[in-house]
Amino acid sequence: MADNKNLEGMIDSTPIMKDYADIESSKLPEYQIDSKIPEGPLAQKWTNYKAHQKLVNPANKRNLDVIVVGTGLAGASAASTLGELGFNVLNFCIQDSPRRAHSIAAQGGINAAKDYQNDGDSVYRLFYDTIKGGDFRSREANVYRLAEVSNNIIDQCVAQGVPFAREYGGLLANRSFGGAQVSRTFYAKGQTGQQLLLGAYASLNRQIKKGTVKSFNRREMLDVVIIDGRARGIIVRNLVTGEIERYAAHAVVLATGGYGRAFFLSTNAMGCNGSAAVQAFKKGAYLANLAFTQIHPTCIPVHGEDQSKLTLMSESLRNDGRIWVPKKKEDAEAIRAGKKKPTDIPDEDRDFYLERRYPAFGNLCPRDIASRAAKERCDAGFGVGTGNAVYLDFKYAINRLGEDVVRDRYGNLFDMYQMISDDNPYETPMMIFPASHYTMGGIWVDYELQTSIKGLFAIGECNFSDHGANRLGASALMQGLADGYFVIPYTMQNYLSDQIKVPHFTTDAKEFDEAEKAVRARIEKLMNIKGTKSPDQIHKRLGHVMWDLVGMGRTLQSLVKALDEIEEVRKEFYTDLRVVGRADDLNTELEKALRLEDFLVIAKMMAIDALNRNESCGAHFREEYQLADGEAARNDKDYMYVSCWKYTGDNEKPVLLKEPLNYTEIKVQTRNYKS
Amino acid sequence: MEHTINVNLKIWRQRGPKEPGSFQTYRVENVSTGSSFLEMLDMLNQQLVDRNEEPVVFDSDCREGICGMCSLYINGHPHGPVQGITTCQLHMRKFNNEDTITIEPWRSAAFPVIRDLMVNRNAFDQIQQAGGYVSFNCGGAPDANNLPISKEVADVAMDSATCIGCGACVAACKNGSAMLFVSAKVSQFALLPQGQVERARRARAMVRKMDELGFGNCTNTGACAAECPKNIPLSNIARLNREFVKAKFAD
């Protein structure tokens, strides 16, 4: 959206791209993408789809097997709902119980267009806010459907007994999140993800008891098995015994979450990984929009090299907290040197930079903008703490509402902060800094959430579909549950309807033999490197490369450098990795090594995708492409497409495919959170 | 301010559920007091791996106190000496230089050791599968606001629902009872209107499953609630007892 004046003199990385990827083939007919968006006006598409899709009758459902990998909000809700419908479901997770999936850690809330607050909300407005928040890089029809089913999710969860926060009158309470001017976020203290996941887990348990779902814990998928062009099973490693196991089904659903741990330090759980996405990629599924990684603005800053993960402080804190840094550089320096305390700085010497730059949305501007603004202040020398931190201050809310009200709203978050930082946020402002949190990019899916491999579906964070270049707060839970409860149970039937004559698969097929052989060879290879570096040591090195060069601000130079350095890390991995223990045994080091090998693939694809996108949009900020006021310079003429990458071989260039984004019902505009 | 300390560790090592285990001693130096307890164990494991030894196996995932994956019996307390937190939220500033720290797995007949500090808690899933849900198929739910629930009831239900299923209550109990865990879920649904239809059946089924899986009896000692990282109150157990007795009378 930049005017031409601003685009002048910018560097186009397209010629350099050709060294890393085949970007010309996207014009060839065999690389055209069909996103299967139904006919009709936007608001009618999902209704029309449901009215005309093919169904599977109850007697036939019993004869169809579905594998669901993952038990987070998307995986658990899909597995339980498919089980309720009568399919035979096989459900896998890497943790010791389905209830541990990382959705459990989501704090703030879940959006829905209920308009219970009578503040002007509607399905259209939720749809529009989501598209706009995503900087016009998401698929219109998917996002509209998401907004449409959002209300069903709240109804469903209340019926399950999810204890959402309520008003004294007994009705559901709401709060506000970034990127919206209405209050549409439903919540359960700072533990919304936990309560929604336990709701889905309860439904899942009911199906497990009924026998429609079989649950496999401590199992990690290591490959997807393709027979005659269709996904027909998976190869998994039993994490307790080290055995390699085979499972067959008529269709496979991936609900394996995001790959944010490519940065090593992130808010993701220790086990979160991008391996299923990489396995699907290597079997022919496209990976899309990998440049779009959400760097969440309010996390507890890094304390040292031995740190294993970063902790998020919920976005809901921005409802009442005010973000600032000192106005004067000497104050910032004095604070960093320990000579001044934040409480020593009078209000007039505080720079509430979000309120200053974005008066209309203030502290509640979207995450990408808030993160970048924090980085800008810290890079300019106004950071506090180690220099990479800003303040989130509740003094004003406590003065306005009283400490009790603030405690009631955020008590558990304040306790969590104090536990980690040893500071009392009721008395001194919190210190926060952005961290890798969520990946908008992921496995490409069509409107039916089917990947480019027949019978292989991807739902929740692991697909790319709904958040464009930036996800709004409280929309991840919404998408996970929308996909699992309300989308895949329908669209799956459209696929399975012509599979009813296909008998139950066995795992004796030669394709299973080959896939298992390849998995064993891969493990053998890693065990036999016998170098000197642990997987964590190499992963940390990769993390530094990704954070420094493919992080919040990227440039042509940084991305080219990143690709070189990722290659160096890859070499180190294959020549100097040490995996202690045995392969056919419980081996946590081997688990880490296998995941890291896949992170190396994802990391490279993230850098390539970022290099290809010669524009700034949402979370993808190419420093060459900014307007005079520092805002993102989007280029709709050349980049209003989903960048999809097709694997062609470990040492071959991936092929770029483009899915054009056509907006029929909205006017594409420059994102404006100022007025 | 943060500084560094050295600690001596006595850690339970055990190859498998049927194999004998023993304490091994280790030393970790230069641990930042700003590090978490599990980051200190990561440092230990890095040392072990550097010496080509197998790392100490322990469960951990979210590292922010909500997934319930981490466990550890530290100096005689589940989740360590600080009340109201999980092991992953415990920080090294709570220890002194040259402290000796004893680390054991959950010890309970119902939670067999898998390796070292990692135990099998599948029994908890089985109890939930016995009845920890409202039988409601997806689709067709009425509008969420058609069912007003008073804030007080919703808040108390939330306090029960906050259980993370870590198993600290069982590890803390001298009888290895799972009453606090079971009562938290039974209470959530006994309090909320959505749970009324299956109220009696649920209490019966979950208690029966708990007994069947080898958890001990409750003798109202209260160690479970005292050590619970989420402060699930003991009143839940009283409620479960009432629910169970009522269900019996209904038979």
Supply the DSSP symbol for A586. Answer: -
Angstrom distance (rounded) from CA B129 to CA A206: 6
Q: Are residues B158 and B244 in the same domain?
A: yes
Q: Give the confidence band of A3 by pLDDT, cuts at 50, 70, 90.
A: very low
Contacts of residue B86, defined as CB under 8 A and 6 or more positions apart, other chains included, come to B65, B68, B70, B79, B164, B166, B229
Residue A597 has pLDDT above 50, yes or no: yes
Q: Are residues B19 and B84 in the same domain?
A: yes
Average confidence (pLDDT) over B130-143: 96
Q: Does residue B151 form part of some domain?
A: yes
Q: Are residues B49 and B136 in the same domain?
A: no
CB-facing half-sphere around the CA of A341: CA atoms within 13 A: 8
Q: Are residues B128 and B29 in the same domain?
A: no
Q: Does residue B29 form part of some domain?
A: yes
Q: Give the confidence band of B1 by pLDDT, cuts at 50, 70, 90.
A: low
pLDDT confidence of residue A412: 82
- Mark which of B102, B131, B153 sits at the end of a domain: B102
pLDDT confidence of residue B2: 78
Which structural domain, as residue segments, surrounds residue B87? 2-102
Average confidence (pLDDT) over A395-399: 97
Asked if the Cβ–Cβ distance from A156 to B54 is below 8 Å, we say no
CA distance A378 to chain B (A): 22
Q: Give the confidence band of A10 by pLDDT, cuts at 50, 70, 90.
A: low
pLDDT confidence of residue A630: 83
Q: Does residue B107 form part of some domain?
A: no
Q: Give the confidence band of A645 by pLDDT, cuts at 50, 70, 90.
A: very high
Q: Give the confidence band of A9 by pLDDT, cuts at 50, 70, 90.
A: low
SS3 A662: coil
Average confidence (pLDDT) over B165-169: 98
Cα torsion through A147, A151, A153, A157, rounded to 10: 150
- Number of domains within chain B: 2
Contacts of residue A132, defined as CB under 8 A and 6 or more positions apart, other chains included, come to A179, A669, A671
The catalytically annotated residue of A145, A367, A377, A622 is: A367
pLDDT confidence of residue A2: 41
Q: Which residue of A has its CA nearest to B120?
A: A96
Asked if the Cβ–Cβ distance from B124 to A97 is below 8 Å, we say yes
pLDDT confidence of residue A179: 84
Q: Give the confidence band of A7 by pLDDT, cuts at 50, 70, 90.
A: low
Q: Poorest-confidence range of A2-6, A311-315, A670-674?
A: A2-6
Q: Does residue B94 form part of some domain?
A: yes
Residue B248 has pLDDT above 90, yes or no: no
Asked if the Cβ–Cβ distance from A311 to B135 is below 8 Å, we say no
Q: Does residue B112 form part of some domain?
A: no
Question: Which of chain B's residues have a Cβ under 8 Å away from the Cβ of A302?
Answer: none
Residue A514 has pLDDT above 50, yes or no: yes
Q: Are residues B154 and B229 in the same domain?
A: yes
3-state secondary structure A52-108: HCCCCCHHHHCCCEEEEECCCHHHHHHHHHHHHHCCEEEEECCCCCHHHCHHHHCCC
Question: Which of chain B's residues have a Cβ under 8 Å away from the Cβ of A109?
Answer: none
pLDDT, tens digit, 9 for 90 and up, residues A418-458: 999 999 999 999 999 999 999 999 999 999 999 999 999 99
Q: Are residues B197 and B237 in the same domain?
A: yes
CA-wise closest residue to A143 among A277, A45, A71: A45
Interface test with A, best of B64, B187, B189 (most A CBs within 10 A): B64
Q: Are residues B84 and B15 in the same domain?
A: yes
pLDDT, tens digit, 9 for 90 and up, residues B94-108: 999 999 999 999 999
Angstrom distance (rounded) from CA A35 to CA A58: 29
**Is residue A64 within 8 Å of residue A87, measured between CB atoms?**
yes
pLDDT confidence of residue A490: 96
**Is residue B109 within 8 Å of residue B176, measured between CB atoms?**
yes
- Mark which of B102, B131, B158 sits at the end of a domain: B102
Percentage of residues of chain B with pLDDT beyond 90: 97
pLDDT confidence of residue A5: 46
pLDDT, tens digit, 9 for 90 and up, residues A532-579: 999 999 999 999 999 999 999 999 999 999 999 999 999 999 999 999
Asked if the Cβ–Cβ distance from A306 to B142 is below 8 Å, we say no
pLDDT, tens digit, 9 for 90 and up, residues B62-75: 999 999 999 999 99
Q: Are residues B141 and B233 in the same domain?
A: yes
Residue A235 has pLDDT above 50, yes or no: yes
Residue B142 has pLDDT above 80, yes or no: yes
CA-wise closest residue to A119 among A168, A205, A183, A58: A183
Distance of CA A52 to the CA centre of its chain: 31
The CATH number of the domain holding residue B46 is: 3.10.20.30
Residue ranges in A227-328 assigned as alpha helix (H):
275-282
**Active-site annotation holds for A372:** no
Angstrom distance (rounded) from CA A166 to CA A173: 5
CA distance B245 to chain A (A): 23
The CATH number of the domain holding residue B141 is: 1.10.1060.10
CA distance A663 to chain B (A): 30
pLDDT confidence of residue A190: 85
Asked if the Cβ–Cβ distance from A589 to B124 is below 8 Å, we say no
Q: Are residues B131 and B236 in the same domain?
A: yes
Average confidence (pLDDT) over A67-95: 98
Asked if the Cβ–Cβ distance from B149 to A166 is below 8 Å, we say yes
Contacts of residue A105, defined as CB under 8 A and 6 or more positions apart, other chains included, come to A193, A194, A267, A269, A312, B62, B64, B66, B67
Q: Are residues B190 and B71 in the same domain?
A: no
Contacts of residue A517, defined as CB under 8 A and 6 or more positions apart, other chains included, come to none
Q: Which residue of A has its CA nearest to B123?
A: A97
Contacts of residue A405, defined as CB under 8 A and 6 or more positions apart, other chains included, come to none
Q: Are residues B71 and B130 in the same domain?
A: no
Q: Poorest-confidence range of A8-12, A597-601, B34-38, B162-166?
A: A8-12
Rounded to whole angstroms, the maximal C-alpha distance in chain A is 76
Q: Does residue B115 form part of some domain?
A: no
Q: What is the mean pLDDT of chain A?
A: 95
pLDDT confidence of residue A1: 41
Distance of CA B50 to the CA centre of its chain: 32
Residue A529 has pLDDT above 60, yes or no: yes
pLDDT, tens digit, 9 for 90 and up, residues A242-274: 999 999 999 999 999 999 999 999 999 999 999
Look up the pTM and report it. Answer: 0.97
CA-wise closest residue to A478 among A118, A133, A100: A133
- Mark which of B69, B102, B135 sits at the end of a domain: B102
Ranges of beta strands (E only) in A490-577 are: none
Q: Does residue B207 form part of some domain?
A: yes
**Is residue B137 within 8 Å of residue A154, measured between CB atoms?**
no
Q: Does residue B108 form part of some domain?
A: no
Q: Are residues B151 and B93 in the same domain?
A: no
